[in-house]
Chains A and B, each alone.
Chain A
């Protein structure tokens, strides 16, 4: 905090420079406050965008970028503050209303209708009519025209789902343009695009810019920003800490601003060699070599040593979860790469095979693929174990109850009884039950994807110390977390992933939040596909 960025003087300068030509501002959000259940997500956030500029918002996870966007597009209602759009004070009740008014959001996952044609997607809600019927000829022509502006020639009568994700995203942008958007918000637009597709997107962004549309661009990929952005707004802890022209910043400046540190300090403290490791033993338990495929992976290799906690760090879309899922046999579309368990090549095609070999996997989304909501704590806890405590297909219930009682006590699971439906437990206790689901099988390797996401601080601490204790007792843990703090404090070593590549291993003194950030921010070393 003592090296807050930018300095007051700089901030004043940048503010006054924009104030001087306030008339050009297409959007001005000021003094925005937003609380969620008493927790501040935004406190005094500010955003100024001029017509025809590409404006990036950067910040760490939880800095308030998404909340600010959601306040702007009407998904959330702010508690305090004003939003001026084209000189008028506005507040939208829904993203749809904002879109109709000229603020379109292109989400990470394209929210269009895959079964319908490109034309229908572009024209939905404002189809050209003739005699009360849709004038398809005109509609198709309109769609073709809109796409032609981006240099795209597509068969607009084909269902959208027959095109790849990049095209779908461009169609979403085309829809925004067709609706006369003045501001187009893009949240991580390149996360699912390859290099060539990215180029098309950037060209489209330049087209939009030339026609006076402002782009609000959110991305964790700092390299991209230099290619297309004009202005940068930095957010930290729900506050806007500064705005500057991109030409005035280096990548290191950006990282420093996001962290609230001095750039020089980061440059000094950064790790460049990773010779020494903090691993607990020299025995390689699992060796992952050149994983490629499964959507996001390009080249991931690392070793997992016995009874260490190995962290996987990386931004959204860097391939963190995909690595875990590939090891556990959940993504069978691996193009390349091998996984060796104590030298023996593994070929997991489904979780059953992985479980057989002593793997456990807590997924990142408890609700989606973790808990079975209708079942009790007991039934959820023993789901993986069942085959081992059954004979002739019948469950040994007394053994089951005894194990469940034991684990409820050992992990301090707060539940009225083991028969309580798991859906009635708090997030932290649900997570403990899911951990117990694997621990009760006595696994060799436990993969934890965001083990403390969405649970309260107290339970978080308990789970963290539990993981530590387990590793001390000999369990090998592969932990994914988007909280660098958690990795730095919890893990023995951290592998940093960037765009599907494993780029660095950090351990001991080198393992700091800054070092992780710096590794992520460093120029891409790997050849671009």
Chain B
């Protein structure tokens, strides 16, 4: 109350050019840091200003970006997901197992389709499991997702007896190495996912409920917001996105290594989400998504 009365009483100052720039930098710090990095690299890194540099960057950043989208949702709901790296490994392991199986070899196209769908679904179900522990049993997210952080990768390793699966499947590898209109495929996937999820968050009742639950869960429940459902959905989507990222990683490497896929991805994704502007205590999405 005190802060509100304080905020109301002073007349708004006339913005000067200086304060305008200051507030611009304050509100869009990440963007400005990005421009600064660009400028520095253009000045000092040899051959930086080439389209090839952009594509290499897009290729490398795509998986982090996709996982970070899911992480952004989870953090906005007031939680965190440590299991995303392990879920990447899980999806990255399941897909080759299917298209390398007898069924997959006999029906290459259907096999590939089933491989991708099943792999991503497995990660989604794992995310649902996270959400279930968190929303139904009220286990703290950091603990609940620690379970799959450890065991998810273990499951992937058990599935392959800890062995590296190598393959030569151009159709699958296209996901990781192909180009469409000259732009890497995973960059397109990232773009489509980012735009569609941003649109859903902005326009849908789910997006609003997500922020309400993250902002003040008690108040949200009292207002009839189905907090349990919202959380289940959020962790499931985060799992699905991790699954997609796992498949891309595997496709880039032409090999699936349950031990390596998605290592430390949870930290990259959390960092990316926070740099992007999500509030760690929940209830706020990056301003780019909101308007």
Question: Cβ of A375 and Cβ of B203 under 8 Å apart?
Answer: no
Question: Cβ of A369 and Cβ of B222 under 8 Å apart?
Answer: yes
Q: Known: A384-B224, A423-B4, A427-B4. Is A371-B208 also a contact (CB below 8 A)?
A: no
Q: Which of A82-90, A141-149, A152-160, A385-393 contacts B (4 or more CB under 8 A)?
A: A385-393
Question: Cβ of B216 and Cβ of A373 under 8 Å apart?
Answer: yes
Question: Cβ of A393 and Cβ of B206 under 8 Å apart?
Answer: yes
Q: Known: A352-B226, A373-B216, A424-B4. Is A395-B221 also a contact (CB below 8 A)?
A: no
Question: Cβ of B218 and Cβ of A368 under 8 Å apart?
Answer: yes
Question: Cβ of A394 and Cβ of B215 under 8 Å apart?
Answer: no
Enumerate chain A residues within 8 angstroms of B211, measured Cβ to Cβ. 372, 374-375, 379
Enumerate chain B residues within 8 angstroms of A363, measured Cβ to Cβ. 222
Question: Cβ of B4 and Cβ of A352 under 8 Å apart?
Answer: no
Interchain nearest-CB distance for B27 vs A (Å)? 14
Question: Cβ of A386 and Cβ of B219 under 8 Å apart?
Answer: no
B153 near A: Cβ within 8 Å?
no
A278 near B: Cβ within 8 Å?
no
Interchain nearest-CB distance for B4 vs A (Å)? 5
Considering only CB atoms and an 8 Å cut-off, how many residues of chain B contact the other chain?
A: 29
Question: Cβ of B208 and Cβ of A373 under 8 Å apart?
Answer: no
Enumerate chain A residues within 8 angstroms of B203, measured Cβ to Cβ. 394-395, 397
B284 near A: Cβ within 8 Å?
yes
B45 near A: Cβ within 8 Å?
no
Question: Cβ of B216 and Cβ of A387 under 8 Å apart?
Answer: no
Enumerate chain B residues within 8 angstroms of A368, measured Cβ to Cβ. 218-219
Interchain nearest-CB distance for A443 vs B (Å)? 12
Enumerate chain A residues within 8 angstroms of B1, measured Cβ to Cβ. 426-427, 454
Dominant SS among interface residues on chain B: helix
Question: Cβ of A374 and Cβ of B224 under 8 Å apart?
Answer: no
Q: Which of B4, B7, B214 has the most CB of A within 10 A?
A: B4
Enumerate chain B residues within 8 angstroms of A351, measured Cβ to Cβ. 221-224
Closest residue on chain A to residue B211 by CB atoms: A375
User: How many angstroms between the C-alpha atoms of A392 and B218 in the bound complex?
Assistant: 26
Question: Cβ of B8 and Cβ of A426 under 8 Å apart?
Answer: yes
Interchain nearest-CB distance for B231 vs A (Å)? 15
User: How many angstroms between the C-alpha atoms of A373 and B284 in the bound complex?
Assistant: 10
Question: Cβ of B283 and Cβ of A375 under 8 Å apart?
Answer: yes
Interchain nearest-CB distance for B212 vs A (Å)? 5
B3 near A: Cβ within 8 Å?
yes
B205 near A: Cβ within 8 Å?
yes
The 8 A-B pairs of least Cβ separation, nearest first, read A374-B283, A369-B218, A372-B215, A355-B224, A374-B215, A383-B223, A372-B216, A390-B205
22 contacts between A and B (CB under 8 A): A328-B222, A352-B224, A352-B226, A355-B224, A368-B218, A370-B222, A371-B219, A372-B283, A374-B214, A374-B215, A374-B279, A375-B211, A375-B212, A387-B205, A393-B206, A394-B204, A394-B205, A395-B204, A423-B4, A424-B4, A426-B5, A426-B8
Given pairs A372-B212, A394-B205, A423-B4, 6 additional interface contacts (CB within 8 A): A363-B222, A369-B222, A386-B205, A426-B1, A427-B4, A437-B223
